[in-house]
Structure 1
């Protein structure tokens, strides 16, 4: 009996040891797994941060493309002598009427003045209005009533410039940036050329008459397209009213109301899709107007030059917008795009390279758009991945969008160079050695293997103990039998 109790105690201790050992191993593995998961989550957050930056960079490469919209028909007859309708995303021309003919721009010149202000100044910068800026403009021309010596921020000056076409604000901004209106005009012309304008020359920042001061409808569209990239410009050009408050330097409170009636709901010329505009008029330029509007993810620019009446400039613009929006649509071919599938389909990438780049958590602009005709079949657009690396910037390559064998555009594929995966790839190491998701899975498998191993050991131990117990029991029986035989012989 004592031996049986001893056996049970031994068996209990053995079981306790095995279970505790297994639990310790499992806990350690779980702890390691949690640590790996935490690190992986940290890497993921870094990758997401990199994703945002990568998308921003992607938009700088190319925001979209267009296809098959060069031969649109049925455009309305307009009064203006020059006009253009342009895709604000790509600069593609949907409509043109003497679009490259030189015309006087009048106050839509101020779009370029505003562009240079947002590019070269902080909105909080302070401008001091000089006597030359306030009194050096043509008598009777548009003004906000800002007095000599007034100190206004660039932001306040831009509201005066864009809403009420304040010529003194244009001159003051020019002096603030370049020292004089003459030098600023040179900067304006230089910037226009950089934007691709081929028939534009500026002589002043406000658009008052000058024979050497001219542009075209197409060029003006390019200037507005660039200005629209700045949120400050969009906000100001679409504002209906703004107040310049009286201060130590500004003698009176000034209420500014946007001259562009196409933006004002209480106007007969209101167009509900218009988001920003700038008007212009001189006796030689006649009426000019630049407007941008958005409908169903399509954003268009309309430029009107030399129109015969402000009312005509509004109705011409609205007619062109209505026609254009009915002609085109915007499609996003990368919404359901599979980068992994596209990479695999690229036969020029060898298998080892493919395995590495598919682990990089690469990102791209899923909102890349293509402007097409309304009846266009989206399935006709083709997408493909092109490997074209730049490890300094983290560019892996491009997604190329095409149709009928013609390349329409491309957008960058990038990865986070600060992540462990990105660093390993750039250093030529095996990417999955640095992935935390892979070791997590491996450690879980290790835990399972250890559990099986301990279970087998436990089973073997139990079997051995049972065998030993059986042998001991047989030995005891044999011993008792011999004792009985011995006692009988003595009797």
Structure 2
């Protein structure tokens, strides 16, 4: 008997194992992050603009002199605080404090340009006097002066999360108290690139300044960034995916370069600092190519079926209306090619900023923040046609509720199941005493049989003796 029992247990165990082996297994791939590119620049970083994902970094928190890439912050603040048709008047400080420097376009005392014209000169020709005039104009507009603008630069940097930055001028001229890290410069540049006006200016190959009150000839501006425009006839560094950027150079800073590029739904900003010529261009191209070849953008709402279903189903009115909230349809994450969306982890972060934003989900993979998505309100409201008037025998203000037929089917199934359970319970209760009597009767019959058998045995025993 024991052998048969153990045999049955073993057979059952083997059957369970067989069933488990037949089930599809969900295997999580080993998380990896591409890191197979080398650069010559002392410090470098590649960041995806819209997600903030860092795809590559090399001593990215090391502080360096930024040179003229400083002007990205100057232009950003001008766009955020001014209209493009505002008139900027050049002061003595703007004109003469930059006299003799190669990065200027020879503006005159009292000359007037629009803010838009100044910003083109700043980004394309790296005009120091134009950057200074812009800083003075914004500072005065805010009720202060040039130093007010510098304070604003540092304040804005902190708002963007910069921790290795201190600005002391608006144009990047050598200053021991003026420094920034590649990581912080990427944060500043990514924020600037999200602005449409900045993108238009920073990506222009050329621009012509018109005649002014002090200059009777037009002034042609050409972008010094050689991945955008063949400056001084050098077309060897042109890069078809490059959409904007800013150059920088001083003897103490060496070459610095900020570049933007777009391909396959990914927008990258690359920052290289303290680079020899032409390493700032060759490193940037190498990094762009490497990142575009090894990373991909995955739309969150299209790939996260679970979240999309939940947010599209559970917030409607009686499952028959537009959902109240949904995932931002434009949000995406950056993943190494070959990795699956199911490999990422996410968690709810602090409430998203904005009236229409309910919350934010942050995604991580292989120890990297790869993107986030806002849960946003759709603006859906309970419509009156969910409570409709009828003209067939009902009062004027009487309303009825429209219910999805699927809910009626579910309710019917639940009611039938409840009735069946109640019937079975009632049946068991009614037969309780009958069943107990039958068991007692059977027990008494067994006792009488045993007693009768015992008496018969005793009679035989007495006769024998």
TM-score normalised per structure 2: 0.68
1:431-450 → structure 2 map (5 Å cutoff): 431-432=382-383, 434-435=384-385, 439=388
| CA distance in 1: counterparts of 2:46 and 2:116, whole angstroms | 29
Preserved contact between residue 35 and residue 56 of structure 2 (Cα < 8 Å): no
Task: Look up the match of 2:265.
Answer: 297
Task: Select the structure that is richer in helix.
Answer: 1
Give 1:147 shift: 1.9
| CA distance in 2: counterparts of 1:176 and 1:70, whole angstroms | 49
Alignment counterpart, residue 206 of structure 2, candidates 226, 234, 241: 241
The answer to whether structure 1 residue 89 and structure 2 residue 74 are counterparts is no
Alignment counterpart, residue 203 of structure 1, candidates 150, 157, 168: 168
Alignment counterpart, residue 158 of structure 1, candidates 99, 119, 128: 119
1:74–1:237 CA distance, 2 compared to 1 (3 A):
same
Give 1:315 shift: 0.8
| CA distance in 2: counterparts of 1:304 and 1:284, whole angstroms | 15
Counterpart of 2:56 in 1: which secondary structure?
strand
Task: Look up the match of 1:216.
Answer: 181
1:412–1:130 CA distance, 2 compared to 1 (3 A):
same
Task: Look up the match of 2:88.
Answer: 127
Give 1:361 shift: 6.0
The answer to whether structure 1 residue 175 and structure 2 residue 140 are counterparts is no
1:82-481 → structure 2 map (5 Å cutoff): 82-137=43-98, 139-179=100-140, 180-264=145-229, 267-309=235-277, 311-335=278-302, 341-343=309-311, 355=318, 358-360=321-323, 362-380=325-343, 393=355, 409-416=372-379, 422=381, 431-432=382-383, 434-435=384-385, 439=388
1:335–1:208 CA distance, 2 compared to 1 (3 A):
same
| CA distance in 1: counterparts of 2:182 and 2:169, whole angstroms | 18
1:312–1:93 CA distance, 2 compared to 1 (3 A):
same
| CA distance in 1: counterparts of 2:31 and 2:92, whole angstroms | 50
Give 1:281 shift: 0.5
Structure ranking higher on relative contact order (CA contacts 8 Å, 6+ apart): 1
The answer to whether structure 1 residue 75 and structure 2 residue 41 are counterparts is no
| CA distance in 2: counterparts of 1:393 and 1:273, whole angstroms | 35
Mind listing any 5+ residue stretches in structure 2 that lack a counterpart? 1-28, 395-465
| CA distance in 2: counterparts of 1:73 and 1:216, whole angstroms | 21
| Alpha-carbon displacement from aligned partner over 1:176-234 (angstroms, at most 9, x marks no partner) | 01144333222211111111111111111001111111001111001101101111100
Task: Look up the match of 2:457.
Answer: none
Moved more, 179-188 or 275-284: 179-188
| CA distance in 2: counterparts of 1:169 and 1:397, whole angstroms | 42
| Alpha-carbon displacement from aligned partner over 1:35-94 (angstroms, at most 9, x marks no partner) | xxxxxxxxxxxxxxxxxxxxxxxxxxxxxxxx9998322113x22111111111122211
Give 1:289 shift: 0.4
Counterpart of 1:96 in 2: which secondary structure?
strand
Counterpart of 1:284 in 2: which secondary structure?
coil
Aligned residue pairs, count: 355
Moved more, 176-185 or 228-237: 176-185
| Alpha-carbon displacement from aligned partner over 1:88-116 (angstroms, at most 9, x marks no partner) | 11222111111111100000000010011
1:357–1:134 CA distance, 2 compared to 1 (3 A):
farther
1:284–1:122 CA distance, 2 compared to 1 (3 A):
same
| CA distance in 2: counterparts of 1:207 and 1:69, whole angstroms | 41
| CA distance in 2: counterparts of 1:396 and 1:355, whole angstroms | 21
| CA distance in 2: counterparts of 1:338 and 1:293, whole angstroms | 33
Task: Look up the match of 2:411.
Answer: none
| CA distance in 2: counterparts of 1:331 and 1:375, whole angstroms | 12
